[in-house]
Amino acid sequence: MPARYEPPPLGAEDVEIKISHCGICGSDVHTLESGWGPAKYPVVTGNEIVGEVTAAGSDVKHLAVGDRVGVGAMVWACRNKDLNSPCDEYADGFDPYCKDVVMAYNSLYKDGSKSYGGYADFVRVSSDYAFKIPENIPSDEAAPLLYAGVTVFAPLRREGVKPGDRVGVIGIGGLGHLAIQFIRAMGGIPVASLARPTKSKRFVL
């Protein structure tokens, strides 16, 4: 019998998504093994989510029912809306360091309700963390970009990689092979090294 859980109520700024695809991330394995501290069981992992918007809160203007969207590691942050409790991290553009950040799964909202990830039929998230997927990108290819892809793309963009730059990549696994593709697309020259072969044995499915 499938497991069931009660999601948080759909807020004015939230969207509900019918999930069609979800990538497999190393974070899922770490969480299920309580590798980053005790997991808040029951837990539904999955943070590379693609699906269709099936409901949108009254204040959501940039997304509509029927839109194909993606969701990554974060599903909520304070957006610095509480004037009595300012959040310097969010104000500085560091959403993941918001003191009340809610990750895709194994995380708690301020009201104590729990977040559940993408290995489910539906998910509800803040619309600020759901992004339209371009029509020319298939859903199964888009999903891994929402966490693994962002993880390696963000520093390349932040550091301003440009044509001719040589960029080191340690390991060419799930993240490394995406980094190499991004570097080449930016005109850079990837310099890759292989990780220890024993490191990935425990991630074999």
DSSP letters, 65-123, are TT-EEEE-SEEE--TT--TTS--HHHHTT-GGG-TT-EESSS-B-TTS-B---SSSSEE
Angstrom distances, CA of residue 143 to CA of 148, 149, 157:
9, 9, 20
99-102 long-range Cβ contacts below 8 angstroms, 24+ apart: 100/76, 101/74, 101/76, 101/77, 102/74, 102/75, 102/76, 102/77
For residue 195, give both structure tokens: 């990780």
Q: Which helix (H) or strand (E) holds 56?
A: strand 49-56
Nearest to 172 by CA among 186, 187, 145, 191: 191
Output the pTM of the full model.
0.88
Residue 157 has pLDDT above 70, yes or no: yes
> Nearest 5°: phi and psi at 108?
-120, 140
Higher pLDDT, 2 or 46: 46
Angstrom distances, CA of residue 178 to CA of 29, 40, 149:
20, 31, 6
Q: What is the pLDDT of residues 114-124, one digit of tens each?
A: 999 999 999 99
**pLDDT bracket for residue 88 (50, 70, 90):** confident
Residue 89 has a pLDDT of 81
For residue 8, give both structure tokens: 């948080």
Residue 57 has a pLDDT of 98
Residue 144 has pLDDT above 50, yes or no: yes
Please give the full DSSP string across 149-176, using - where no structure is assigned. HHHHHHHHHHTT--TT-EEEEE--STTH
Mean pLDDT over 70-99 rounds to 86
Cα separation of 124 and 18, whole Å?
9
Q: Which helix (H) or strand (E) holds 19?
A: strand 14-22
> If you classify domain 14-137 with CATH, what class do you get?
alpha beta
Query: Of all residues in the chain, what percent carry a pLDDT higher than 70?
Result: 94
Residue 204 has a pLDDT of 46
Mean pLDDT is lowest, of 15-24, 130-139, 174-183, 195-204, for 195-204
The domain segmentation of the chain, as residue ranges, is 14-137, 149-203
Residue 95 has pLDDT above 90, yes or no: no
> If you classify domain 149-203 with CATH, what class do you get?
alpha beta
Cα separation of 41 and 43, whole Å?
5
Mean pLDDT of the chain: 91
For residue 114, give both structure tokens: 């729990």
Mean pLDDT over 92-106 rounds to 89
